[in-house]
Structure 1
Amino acid sequence: MHRLRAYLRYLRDCLIASDPALERLRSSLRAVLTAGACAGAFLLLTRLLGQEYKLSLAGIVVPMIAAAALPDAGRRQQQVTMAWVPVVASAVLVLGSLVAADPWLSGICFLLVIFAAFEVRRFGPRATGLGTIAYQSFFYALLLKVPPSKAQWHPLFVFGGCAIAFVIRFWLVPEHPGRMLRSELRAWRARIAVLLHGLGRASRKRIDAQLAALNRQSLGLEARIADFAVHPDDSQAAVLRAQVLHAELAAETVAAAARAAGSTAQHPDTARLPDALRWRLRRAREVLAALPPADGHLPAMRDERKPQEDTPRPNGTTRRALQACAAALGAMLAGRALAPDHWFWAVFASFIVFTRAATVGQTLSGAWRQVLATMAGVAVGIAVAELAHGHRGLELSLLFVFIAAGYYAFHGMQNTYTVLLSAMLAMLYELMGMNSPGLLLLRLEETAVGAASAILAARLVFPTHTRDESGSRSAALLRAAGELLRATWLEAQPDGQPDGRHAAMRELDRKLQALRQALGPVTGTAYPGSKENRRQHLARLARIAYCVRHCCFLAIQNAPSSSLLREAAGELAARLDAVAALLDPPAAPQAPGDTLPALALPAVAERDAIPLQLAVRWLGETDQALRAIREELAAPGKP
């Protein structure tokens, strides 16, 4: 019974740790309630008006998407965006219905909408969300094929549906920063529990993935406190941020000890560990035993996001808009040749690929995963449609089940969402009396055409290569590591001022997450190209970040005093900046013989204090990984 309870707790932690699960459930609930309320209200309204129920479908889909996917962070900003959604969606739906009968005019208008959807991203999250709503609205205008004489009904249903979604989104299932912080803290604790539970059985790759996910969630907590806390720098917020950082580093230490001992985290064979690692493990256990409780007293949070100074704007929006238009044009022409009445599915696929990719390699990865996910979704959709055929109640129930599951996966689980989207369409086609197996297979073919067009556009139209993106993000990481070394070892911290070392450490974490995000699509198992060099490059930079973080944290906590150690840290920071300059694109190729000599480190004897031994070892490992990257730059085929 004890093992059963422990296993059930583990399954619960896995579910919660996948992301803030409560927010996923809220998103799913909003979508289902919006779809159900709009469907019921419009069924009565269409009967009273004597109109076809098909006219109201856009008024169900658009609010459902908007209710679950508002991109703004603050409640007030979300309300303003939600108020603009029916205005934009109604205008585009009417336009789409009026031009749908003309194949070339509808194609030209679709290309213009796609260009605008990408171009407006330079104006921030609100414009990004409204651009996506405009694209989705035009797509559904072509899909639903409402006659031009009935196009005037679109605003009535869209405004009504958005009013229902507004009530559900902000009154029935609201979102408050304080609840979000508690939810994220609960997910963060669950992530640590899952990591520790599986250390004895998981592979090294799996453990590294869990640690990367833990780091991502820790940065999410950090950002929420910085953006929404009433006083982000007060003692309570500072203590929580410090606890999160200390626990994250402690979890990495326990993982290192478990690997070295070859045993579980709960009962490691400490006798087999080196003295320095046993010392670190004892301290890590103390930190993990004092994890901040998810139900404890948290910092006071405001409803609005803290105003951001010099908010960065996305780069290359016009380039990506032109790429997306080129991909859409190719998809439109090929899609028309394949199926003149359903060519917009190919354009839909090309647009989806470009919304998630910025480089040639990322586009190839996204296109391949889009095709695989659609293939799986078509198989599920056909099977479920055959099972539920003729049972209207079952078909309607399954439609809402797929809506709930799909919008649960909407954030961060795009492949799963694509599978469930095909299942949703299968149920929708069944309810509309259409031939779902043939249409779903056609959708798969159109998706493959759109994905191929996206790959060609990424390669031929103002291409951005993954090696350039990787080089720029790698350089940023190395510079952040150098800044952290200087802030820790060479710069005095003024009294009464916030400790800049914590901010420098989190900046390094953000640069590592950005690099993982850039290289993740082209290093994953499903990527259909060469990936080993990039994996090795990412592993070296992740090791540099690990060693610098732990070395600097050790210096902050224990302050091992050595003038030679400070000199070595300063020299290493300069080397990090020098290699970063070589990584920034466009970087000139290096001569094979142009290598870095080993860093001069102070000699350490066994009688020296453990913190000093660890600091010297981590600085040496950082220098070793940095020299390997320097040699990698001189070799052909650099990542």
Structure 2
Amino acid sequence: MPVPAYAVAMLTALQGAVAIKDATAGKRAVSRVFAALCGFAVIAAISLVEHSILHISAVLLGVIFWAVFIRQFGARWQGVGAFTFMCGVIAAFLKAPDTDLMDIAISLALSGFIAHFVRNFVLPERPIQDFERAIRASLLSADRLQVGVARSLQAGMAIDLRETTQLARRAQEAAFLCESYLPAMSEAVDVKLADLLAMRLFDLRLAIERVLDDALKVDHKTSGPELAVLEKQLTELRDIEVKVRADVASIGTSSSALSPKRPPSVPAAAPSPRGSLLANPFFRQAVQVTLASAIAMTVGLVLSPERWFWAVMTAFLIFSNTQSRGAVAVRGLNRALGTAVGICVGIGLATLVHGNLYWTIPLVTISIFAAFYLMMLSYAMMTFLITIALSLIYGILGEFTPGLLVLRLEETLVGAFAGIIVSLAVLPQSTRGQARQAFDRFLSAFEKLLGDIVAEEGDAKRHSRLIASVTALDTARASFVDAASPMQSFISFGATHRWAYQNLKYASTLAYAAHLLERRFSHVSPNEQEQQAIAGIRARLAHPAENNLETPALENPVQNNLSASVVNDLAANDLAANDSADDTAAYAITLIHQTLDRHDNAP
């Protein structure tokens, strides 16, 4: 094969394995066929424009607009768009002659087959095993947390607040990671068990947060009620850990063959008026990305007629999976930071290895593996490791110079700042505005679930409808988490950071209560008192300013006694037990009212 075909095969195999993210192997195979066809069309178009930089630029900018605009049609076309863009970049750099097109077509087919084979047979996704590893990591940190605090209390020593905080955050992050695996486990795990696991994770995170909060309030001289409360929280944490381990152990014996399936999750996007392109978020972002790429291309060509594509790639990639200007800024700065630090380390490694094949290959393999392993956790770390891998690859090709890596940093900065400036100046989307809209969509999904609970339907229809509603609620919550994530990053502080933290906490609590209600009323209708209480919640959601002080009462001691001790005791109970069904509904309704009270009274 000629060099262009070889390069296309190597790079598109990697891109195809990462970019194609359909739910099933069959759907991924279809997506890879579309990706190969679109990628070949772009490569052929660029190879036929006689290497004119103006024509190549025009074709590539058209591909960029198309690749962003088709994201609205789902995960398949998001992957196809990303794959096609990378093919366009490769073709613009290699400028392959049209005589190589047949070999390039063969290389695309070969890379697609290899990517599909590796993804589905060599290293298939195993969400259950991934979930079990993540929950073990969370429980290990939680164990170390409660053991460390308990030993300090018994010895009368001061609690190591730094270590306690780190362990708590590590346990909660692992628990959040577990939640991300639950949708992918739906084909192999019973729906009821998946719901139970989701609530156990919430209980675990809540117990960890309570221990951390109380540990921060005491010191070795504290005595009396404060220590008693902390000891009680430690006991509850141990009890919840036991329940989590028992539920995780039951995964292997659970079967989803006879249980209703959750409908597939789709991204919760803001509705856009028909006929208004500027109101379409995908069209708006397509314009932004195309303009940012054009600016990056222009400045990048001035810096280097051969390496300008680095700037274009940065401008395109920092808009991926973003909804607002804040998210673009965070990704752009993370990419610039990762590249800068990676260049410093890469120069040192490439100099030490000095093109030695036996050292370079394992170091490149480790760097690329670690980069994609950490991709979901840290974009900056992924960029850092990819930059190290590129430094070593340039070394083995005999093209390594510190000046080349500095040029990469300059092109990366051009692309990052082009994207940030365009996101701020052209059709900007406020980060807080996007987060508010996502939070409103979450509340609308929550209100719809409450409406479905009180609807008069048969058991079978009720169950399937509630499953669909709670799935839509979880999707809306995930969308809100994504929209609010820039407000919890290093570029956010003060009131903005506090607003995001509070509302993320509210959304998590309301989702937890919603799952309790869905389990309680999946097969039975609420009684008259419960219907009135749920109607009161819906009224508060519809008119928060008018109903923020109205709390319909249930003839149940759980609802009428709102003390923290009662709520804590209820949270520690196994609410799945049949004899606590009434308490489950009362507790969930109480929790919702308390959460709405805190939300209404927040500064």
TM-score category by the smaller chain?
Answer: 0.7 to 0.9
**Residue in 2 that maps onto 1:576:** 541
**Residue in 1 that maps onto 2:127:** 180
Aligned-pair distance for 1:209? 7.2
After TM superposition, the structure 1 = structure 2 runs for residues 335-484 of structure 1, keeping only pairs within 5 Å, are: 335-483=300-448
Query: Could you tell me how far apart the structure 2 residues matched to 1:54 and 1:431 are?
Result: 18
Query: Quick check: 2:310–2:412 contact (8 Å CA) kept in 1?
Result: yes
Q: Which blocks of at least 5 consecutive residues in structure 2 are unaligned?
A: 150-160, 217-224, 271-279, 554-559, 571-582
**Residue in 2 that maps onto 1:211:** 172
Change over 3 Å in CA distance of 1:189–1:148 after alignment to 2: same
Of 165-174 and 466-475, more deviation after overlay is shown by: 165-174
Output the amino acid matched with 1:183: D
Query: Could you tell me how far apart the structure 2 residues matched to 1:66 and 1:240 are?
Result: 34
User: Is residue 66 of structure 1 aligned with residue 22 of structure 2?
Assistant: no
After TM superposition, the structure 1 = structure 2 runs for residues 51-90 of structure 1, keeping only pairs within 5 Å, are: 53=3, 56-90=6-40
Change over 3 Å in CA distance of 1:409–1:103 after alignment to 2: same
User: Is residue 531 of structure 1 aligned with residue 493 of structure 2?
Assistant: yes
Query: Quick check: 2:331–2:379 contact (8 Å CA) kept in 1?
Result: no
Give the TM-score taking structure 1 as reference length: 0.73
User: Is residue 272 of structure 1 aligned with residue 246 of structure 2?
Assistant: no
SS in 2 for 1:95: helix
Query: Quick check: 2:128–2:181 contact (8 Å CA) kept in 1?
Result: no
Query: Could you tell me how far apart the structure 1 residues matched to 2:145 and 2:452 are?
Result: 35
**Residue in 1 that maps onto 2:181:** 220
Query: Quick check: 2:127–2:185 contact (8 Å CA) kept in 1?
Result: no
Aligned-pair distance for 1:349? 0.7
**Residue in 2 that maps onto 1:288:** 244
Query: Quick check: 2:371–2:381 contact (8 Å CA) kept in 1?
Result: yes
**Residue in 2 that maps onto 1:604:** 561
Superposed CA offset, 1:256-302 (max 9, x none): 44236529xxxxx9971299979966863662352322772242579
Aligned-pair distance for 1:54? 6.0
Change over 3 Å in CA distance of 1:407–1:187 after alignment to 2: same
User: Is residue 113 of structure 1 aligned with residue 63 of structure 2?
Assistant: yes
**Residue in 2 that maps onto 1:13:** none
Query: Could you tell me how far apart the structure 2 residues matched to 1:390 and 1:293 are?
Result: 49
Of 343-352 and 241-250, more deviation after overlay is shown by: 241-250
2:78 alignment partner, one of 128, 133, 158 = 128
Output the amino acid matched with 2:501: A
Query: Could you tell me how far apart the structure 2 residues matched to 1:127 and 1:619 are?
Result: 39
Query: Could you tell me how far apart the structure 1 residues matched to 2:121 and 2:311 are?
Result: 38
**Residue in 1 that maps onto 2:202:** 249
Aligned-pair distance for 1:619? 5.1
Change over 3 Å in CA distance of 1:340–1:522 after alignment to 2: farther
**Residue in 1 that maps onto 2:502:** 540
**Residue in 2 that maps onto 1:258:** 211
Output the amino acid matched with 1:73: A
**Residue in 2 that maps onto 1:627:** 600
SS in 2 for 1:292: helix
Aligned-pair distance for 1:110? 1.1
Of 393-402 and 198-207, more deviation after overlay is shown by: 198-207
Output the amino acid matched with 2:499: H
Query: Could you tell me how far apart the structure 2 residues matched to 1:346 and 1:546 are?
Result: 39
Query: Could you tell me how far apart the structure 2 residues matched to 1:105 and 1:515 are?
Result: 41
Query: Could you tell me how far apart the structure 1 residues matched to 2:509 and 2:252 are?
Result: 32
User: Is residue 143 of structure 1 aligned with residue 93 of structure 2?
Assistant: yes
SS in 1 for 2:345: helix
Query: Could you tell me how far apart the structure 2 residues matched to 1:308 and 1:295 are?
Result: 21
Of 153-162 and 497-506, more deviation after overlay is shown by: 497-506
Change over 3 Å in CA distance of 1:362–1:116 after alignment to 2: same
Of 203-212 and 187-196, more deviation after overlay is shown by: 203-212
Superposed CA offset, 1:476-514 (max 9, x none): 2333444566677x6788655528767666654443332
Query: Quick check: 1:250–1:287 contact (8 Å CA) kept in 2?
Result: no
Query: Quick check: 1:270–1:278 contact (8 Å CA) kept in 2?
Result: no
SS in 1 for 2:248: coil
Query: Could you tell me how far apart the structure 1 residues matched to 2:562 and 2:416 are?
Result: 60
Query: Could you tell me how far apart the structure 2 residues matched to 1:322 and 1:484 are?
Result: 36
Query: Could you tell me how far apart the structure 1 residues matched to 2:517 and 2:232 are?
Result: 15
Report sequence identity in percent: 22
Aligned-pair distance for 1:377? 1.7
Change over 3 Å in CA distance of 1:333–1:68 after alignment to 2: closer
Query: Could you tell me how far apart the structure 2 residues matched to 1:214 and 1:385 are?
Result: 38
Aligned-pair distance for 1:105? 1.4
Query: Could you tell me how far apart the structure 1 residues matched to 2:421 and 2:262 are?
Result: 42
**Residue in 2 that maps onto 1:233:** none
SS in 2 for 1:354: coil
Superposed CA offset, 1:132-156 (max 9, x none): 1111112122333545665554224
Query: Could you tell me how far apart the structure 2 residues matched to 1:282 and 1:427 are?
Result: 48
Of 251-260 and 611-620, more deviation after overlay is shown by: 611-620
Query: Could you tell me how far apart the structure 2 residues matched to 1:608 and 1:170 are?
Result: 49
Change over 3 Å in CA distance of 1:306–1:578 after alignment to 2: closer
Aligned-pair distance for 1:386? 0.8
Output the amino acid matched with 2:205: E
**Residue in 2 that maps onto 1:22:** none
Query: Quick check: 1:168–1:174 contact (8 Å CA) kept in 2?
Result: yes
Q: Which blocks of at least 5 consecutive residues in structure 1 are unaligned?
A: 1-45, 230-235, 264-268, 580-593, 633-639
Aligned-pair distance for 1:80? 1.9
Query: Could you tell me how far apart the structure 1 residues matched to 2:452 and 2:234 are?
Result: 28
Output the amino acid matched with 1:86: A
Output the amino acid matched with 1:532: G
Output the amino acid matched with 1:110: L
Query: Could you tell me how far apart the structure 2 residues matched to 1:115 and 1:545 are?
Result: 35
Change over 3 Å in CA distance of 1:428–1:219 after alignment to 2: closer
Output the amino acid matched with 2:178: Q
Query: Could you tell me how far apart the structure 2 residues matched to 1:558 and 1:134 are?
Result: 48
Output the amino acid matched with 1:224: A
Query: Could you tell me how far apart the structure 2 residues matched to 1:295 and 1:279 are?
Result: 25
Query: Could you tell me how far apart the structure 2 residues matched to 1:246 and 1:534 are?
Result: 28
Query: Quick check: 2:13–2:111 contact (8 Å CA) kept in 1?
Result: yes
Output the amino acid matched with 1:59: A
